Chains A and B, each alone.
Chain A
Amino acid sequence: MLVALVKKLARAVGVLLIVTFVTFSLMYGNGPGIARAVLGLQATQADVQREVVRLGLDQPLFVQYGRWLGGVLTGDLGTSFFTGQRVSDALATRIPVTLSLVLITLVLTVILSVLLGVTAAVYGGWVDRVVQFLAVLGAAIPSYIIAIVLIFALALTLRIFPATGYTSPDQSFVGWVSSITLPVVALLVGSIAGAASQIRSAVADVLGRDYVRTLRARGVPEREIIFVHVLRNAGGPGLIVLGLQTIYLIGGAVVIELVFALPGMGELTNTSAQQGDVPLVMGVVLVIVLIVLIVNLLSDLAGAALNPKARKA
């Protein structure tokens, strides 16, 4: 088991290195362009050249990447080309925002989609139809359209929630809740749609297994069968579904952050990548890849805990 863990970690590090290197190379080679964007149109050629050197953009790819990597290992993620702010500071203010959005949506997704999925699989009938309908609807309507509708209805007309902005929980807990409600709902619809129907399938699949029938034949009450055996066996596939959902959520957060003017990582990504603010982009990539890897690791561990066969692997 320990060997497996070490192997997994080694793999994760490998993934991290490759992903960061690929991203870095994609942004490489735009030195003068970036310098000009930093200084503005008024700058002279001399100014631009000086900035290129100052930002280290005249160095070869591996040197630049190596420098960045070295910085990371000592905890220094560099400073933004455009604002001079330390990348770690910029991220520190933005990670909580995105995390609030993603984590809360995820938790609600888990609860609601498991509820809906299990009920749909076990009882069929109208709940099953609702789940199917939601799955289709949630997939069809882009999340930003849902966001607009929510803003119009609940923020502008009824004025229950603020239309934009983010209040951090240490400033005001109530304010925090109210500022993330609409963004979470906008993300939730699509998220539940996907997860509920897949969980439904996973549960239905388990329900159709022979051993479930045999347990019934032994006289085990249906309730116990569902809550102990079915859930346990559907847990593995369920975790995979939810793991994937997390990754999709991070992507979805980018768009939602823009619509609601939430100062999160997604919004930072968009701006800094388009501008060519390499340190910021690399910082964001690092954080996101780490999150994804951790999520994968956790879901693998949880899956192994649930499935005895996998523990051998």
Chain B
Amino acid sequence: MRHLARRAAVVAAAVAVAVGATLSGCTSTGTGGGSSAKGTLTLGMTADIPGWTPAQPSYQGWPAMAVYDQIFRCDAKGNPQPDMADTFTFSSDNTSFTAHIRTGQKFSDGEAVDAKAVKTYLDWSAVQANSRLKGLKVTTSGDNLTATLPSANPLFKLLMCYQIVPSPKAIAAAEKTKNEVFAKPIGSGPYILDAQATTAGSVYTFTKNDDYWDSKTFPYKKLVVKVLKSDTAAINALKTGQIDGTLLSSATLKEAQSAAGLKVLTLKGPNTTRLLITDHQGKVIPALGNLDVRKAINMVFDRDSMAKDLYQGNATPAYQIFKPGSDAYIPGLKDPYPYDVAKAKALMAQAGYADGFTVPIPVIENGGNIDLLLPYVTQQLALLNIKVQQVPLSGPNMYSDLLGGKYPMPLWQLGNYGASLQDIQDYVLPSGIWNVEHQDDPTVDGIWSKIVAGEDVKKNEQAINQYTIDQAWFVPMVYADNFYGHSSKVRIDGSTDFAGLQPMLWDFK
């Protein structure tokens, strides 16, 4: 599951997640280093790695982060920072960048890390892995590299975040296999895989690569990552000291908080729980095309109670889908649709839907807390005579079914990003993955083209936000926190993940 990555948190794991508001300060990497060399860091993952194919490091992608280096690291807002590229410039029209590749680094098979190697990777990726990079033209001259997209993409910088680069020999070998399989990870990262002590699917062991240019940021000589698929197994391992850190869920949070010798890192609100009313033109369910109906739906949820009770205080009421502090976020926004069931009923009657209608909402077992949320959502919508048909999805088709357009109003605890352009691309644009009905909207298209052209980006992002609020395209409910439990022997100042879901490998001190 390569790109399921960021979304995986909310899709595959029942995790209540939050990101530290301290984020804004802790953007640069490599400064916190200098702690004395330490022994072994053992981390738990709740899902196995999706193989060693280079892709943007996934949710809980510490193994990939350990063994590969990337062209750029990004800060919490998605701005590229030096890594393999030690100096670089991005063009202002979001079509290209030029970078100088740091010299003196080697892949673990002896190949040199240079502009040619990076080009090999980018060329391969554009064809074989990431069609968003399609048509990317890459040229090298000495240690410098220039990459140009065929057309402007405001998310270009985000796209380039965490592009991990394997050795060109590894790429060549993969191309010979049937499925572009990377059997072994050959990277130039801060650690090297210890194949002897590794059992795929169970435990991955890495030893420190002292030649890594930023090795001082990684104080641990050995890194062990264990796969512990159940929450219970993970918390038990943490409590008995078998691992030093793991993501917590709403089920295991209390245990970690009350256990001696454990600390809990709060990652505040990297998810927005929301209904996505993607059928704003009423093509699938006519009622949803009516603005009053959508507004009424917004008004039957007691966000304060949800945050305090349903999420047990580990959430904050949300009135907009974007992350506080991101560009699209409108600071100080007052609740545009306060909790008022009577008023909502009146709106429904006004719209001519006093008798309500039926709407199917998909639910995936153990997917994103939906099974915990749906009873409440169903109950509240029923107050408006809106009957919710809960549709359980399962098996290999569940995601394609979920996003296929049959269910015009999914309920999901979806990520929000430090770089709100990502949210707009995924949720608001007609082509957005989660905009499952993919219905056109000239207003949004108009504003977006301005953003593409680079005009007043921040103001226009907020304009889009306001538009979606006015049009009640979403029913934002709460920002749900994530929690990471760790031994008090390990120091984590905060997470620099721009999705805010977990501490990155270099955040462990």
Task: Please report A residues at the B interface, Cβ cutoff 8 Å.
Answer: 27, 30, 32-34, 36-44, 46-47, 54-55, 79-86, 89-90, 93-94, 148, 151, 155-156, 159, 162-166, 168, 258-261, 263, 267-268, 271, 274-276
Contacts and interface: CB of A to CB of B under 8 A. Distances in A.
B157 interface: no
B396 A79 contact: no
B233 A82 contact: no
Q: Which of A30, A38, A89, A260 has the most CB of B within 10 A?
A: A38
B50 A82 contact: yes
A162 B229 contact: no
A283 to B, nearest CB: 13
Given A166-B202, A261-B229, A42 B49 contact: no
A93 B200 contact: yes
Contact of B200 (A40, A41, A85, A148): A85
Interface string B1-39: 111111110010000000000000000000000000000
Q: Which of B131, B226, B395, B396 has the most CB of A within 10 A?
A: B396
Nearest to B227: A263
Contacts of B179: 54-55, 79, 81, 84
A85 B52 CA distance: 9
Given A42-B3, A84-B183, A263 B201 contact: yes
B229 A159 contact: no
Contacts, number: 153
Q: Which 5 A-B pairs have the closest CB atoms?
A: A276-B396, A40-B3, A33-B397, A40-B4, A163-B236
B373 interface: no
Contacts of B151: none
Interface in B362-403: 394-401, 403
B312 interface: no
B237 A163 contact: yes
B182 interface: yes
A82 B1 contact: yes
Contacts of A81: 179
B228 A40 contact: no
B181 interface: yes
A177 B136 CA distance: 55
B284 to A, nearest CB: 20
B239 interface: yes
B199 A93 contact: yes
26 contacts: A27-B396, A30-B395, A30-B396, A33-B400, A37-B398, A40-B1, A41-B4, A42-B5, A42-B433, A47-B130, A82-B1, A84-B179, A84-B183, A93-B202, A155-B240, A159-B240, A163-B236, A164-B233, A165-B242, A260-B233, A261-B233, A271-B48, A274-B394, A274-B395, A276-B395, A276-B397
A268 B52 CA distance: 19
B395 A41 contact: no
Contact of A162 (B51, B130, B242, B396): B242
B128 to A, nearest CB: 8
Given A82-B51, A85-B51, A41 B11 contact: yes
A260 B183 CA distance: 28
Contact of B228 (A37, A82, A164): A164
Nearest to B200: A85
A39 B1 CA distance: 5
Given A30-B395, A43-B3, A263-B227, A84 B237 contact: no
Interface string B346-366: 000000000000000000000
A38 B1 contact: yes
Nearest to B49: A83
A165 B403 contact: no
A168 B203 CA distance: 12
A168 B123 CA distance: 42
A79 B181 contact: yes
Nearest to A85: B200
A160 to B, nearest CB: 11
